[in-house]
Amino acid sequence: MNVAAKLASFSEHWSPRVAGELNGQQVKLVKFKGEFVWHHHEAEDELFWVVRGRFRMDYRDRAGQETSLEVGEGEFVIVPRGTVHRPVAAEEVHVMLFEPAGTLNTGNVRDARTIDDPQRI
Amino acid sequence: MNVAAKLASFSEHWSPRVAGELNGQQVKLVKFKGEFVWHHHEAEDELFWVVRGRFRMDYRDRAGQETSLEVGEGEFVIVPRGTVHRPVAAEEVHVMLFEPAGTLNTGNVRDARTIDDPQRI
């Protein structure tokens, strides 16, 4: 599986593609640009690995306090279940996700960018 | 977590380091050089992602027939549970593994390179 070639096969933002599956987890490839919706995942931890570019992960704690983390190319971040977050990308960024099969991209929120059944590539 | 920086922090071959954990799975970083031992994992699928360099994955089927797959930088391969395999690297290669926590590097085999309790980095 060549990741760059698979990433070149689609252009939509915020639309994860399933590139592999193992142990009940999925490897997804996705392109971000702009600001995503605030959400959390009730029962799933999520790993974001930057293949190309960079993005900012915003976090909001229970008191409503917001913090941010810059994630650059060749770096990854793990967002634990229950953590309210949103990725924000000033420029397009290419990301690999590792998460349980069936994890919804918008977590506990439904919005225009919710993808119920991601395509396989 | 900067992957290249973490990879620069150790030099041993065949000695995976745990770089992250999520959903009962672990992200490990490892350097391969040379020929590993033939083995399989009874109950774990394994993902090998090449961060730098390239290696060859050898497979042996139930009839003893061997096949190989070259895995280059920016590519990944998933080895399903039960599949007899061994990585072989002519030159040093840097790999990220994604597999269930507790997966033993030598699977069903014990040898000098078995690592029972990989370090965290």
Q: What is the predicted pLDDT for the residue at A118?
A: 95
Q: State the fold for domain B3-100.
A: Jelly Rolls (2.60.120)
Give yes or no for A29 touching B (CB within 8 A).
Answer: no
Q: What is the predicted pLDDT for the residue at A59?
A: 98
Q: What is the predicted pLDDT for the residue at A86?
A: 98
Question: Is the distance from CB of B10 to CB of B23 less than 8 angstroms?
Answer: no
Q: What is the predicted pLDDT for the residue at B110?
A: 96
User: Are the Cβ atoms of A1 and B45 closer than 8 angstroms?
Assistant: no
Alpha-carbon distance A65 to nearest alpha carbon in chain B (angstroms): 23
Residue A33's nearest CA partner among A14, A46, A47, A51 is: A14
pLDDT tens digits, B29-69: 999 999 999 999 999 999 999 999 999 999 999 999 999 99
Q: Which helix (DSSP H) or strand (DSSP E) does residue B7 occupy?
A: helix B3-7
Angstrom distance (rounded) from CA A45 to CA A78? 7
Q: What is the predicted pLDDT for the residue at B114?
A: 96
pTM of the model: 0.95
Q: What is the predicted pLDDT for the residue at B30?
A: 98
Q: What is the predicted pLDDT for the residue at A28?
A: 98
Alpha-carbon distance A55 to nearest alpha carbon in chain B (angstroms): 14
For an interface test with B, which of A22, A28, A42, A85 has the most B Cβ atoms less than 10 Å from its Cβ? A22
How many C-beta neighbours within 10 Å does residue B70 have?
10
Q: What is the predicted pLDDT for the residue at B68?
A: 98
Q: What is the predicted pLDDT for the residue at B54?
A: 98
Q: Which residue has the tokens 């014990």?
A: B110
Helix (H, G, I), strand (E, B) or coil at B3: helix
Q: What is the predicted pLDDT for the residue at B19?
A: 98
Q: Confidence class of residue B104 from pLDDT cuts 50, 70 and 90?
A: very high
What are the structure tokens assigned to B25, written together? 């799975």
Return the CA Rg of chain A: 13
Q: Confidence class of residue B9 from pLDDT cuts 50, 70 and 90?
A: very high
Q: Which helix (DSSP H) or strand (DSSP E) does residue A27 occupy?
A: strand A25-35
Number of H helices, E strands in chain B: 1, 7
How many C-beta neighbours within 10 Å does residue B110 have?
12
In chain B the first and final C-alpha atoms are separated, in Å, by 10
Q: Which residues of chain A fall short of a pLDDT of 50?
A: none
Give yes or no for B102 touching A (CB within 8 A).
Answer: no
* Alpha carbon of residue B17 to chain centroid: 11
> Which one of A20, A21, A44 has the shortest CB-CB distance to B23?
A44
Q: What is the predicted pLDDT for the residue at B8?
A: 96
Q: What is the predicted pLDDT for the residue at B45?
A: 98
**Average model confidence (pLDDT) across chain B:** 97
Q: Above 0.95 for ipTM, yes or no?
A: no
Residue B79's nearest CA partner among B43, B47, B42 is: B47
Q: Which residues contact A82 (CB under 8 A, 6 or more apart)?
A: A40, A41, A42
In chain A the first and final C-alpha atoms are separated, in Å, by 10
Give yes or no for A77 touching B (CB within 8 A).
Answer: yes
